[in-house]
Amino acid sequence: MSIINDDLEMEYYTKILDFYQNQKFDKETVEIWKSKSYIELMQVLKRTHNKNLVKNAIILILSLFEELPLDIYDSSGQSVRELTEEDKNSYISHLRSEFVDEFPN
């Protein structure tokens, strides 16, 4: 990636983080800002064709400003602390086998 693209990405990420750190805004102002940011990002996409910048910026906005977890499985399942040793070992074994199959030596 070129230095110009790196600077552009850093500029957008910094802009998002700066707005997030300023917690003085009400919910309506945040929604307006998000909408304007999405429009601006679509214009950036049209101008630069940098899909990764736009995708990552949208993910960052959603991650920071959405109240509901983006991952529907975030609050489901069982805590690892609640698993028996046998269950833990079974899960670890299963995960290892998937990684070995996916990334053989």
pTM recorded for the entire structure: 0.59
Checking if the pLDDT of 3 tops 60, the result is: no
Cα–Cα distances in angstroms (integers) from residue 33 to residues 20, 52, 56, 77, in the given order: 11, 21, 17, 34
Q: What is the mean pLDDT of residues 46-55?
A: 91
Alpha carbons within 13 A on the beta-carbon side of 63 = 9
Cα–Cα distances in angstroms (integers) from residue 95 to residues 4, 25, 75, 88, 103, in the given order: 40, 43, 21, 11, 12
pLDDT at 2: 53
What ranges do the domains of the chain cover? 3-65
Checking if the pLDDT of 45 tops 50, the result is: yes
Q: Which residue has better confidence, 40 or 65?
A: 40
Q: Which residue has better confidence, 59 or 99?
A: 59
pLDDT at 42: 94
Q: What is the mean pLDDT of residues 12-24?
A: 88
Which amino acid would we find at residue 90?
A: S
Q: For the segment 70-101, what is each residue's pLDDT rounded down to a tens digit? A: 566 666 777 778 888 998 888 888 888 877 76
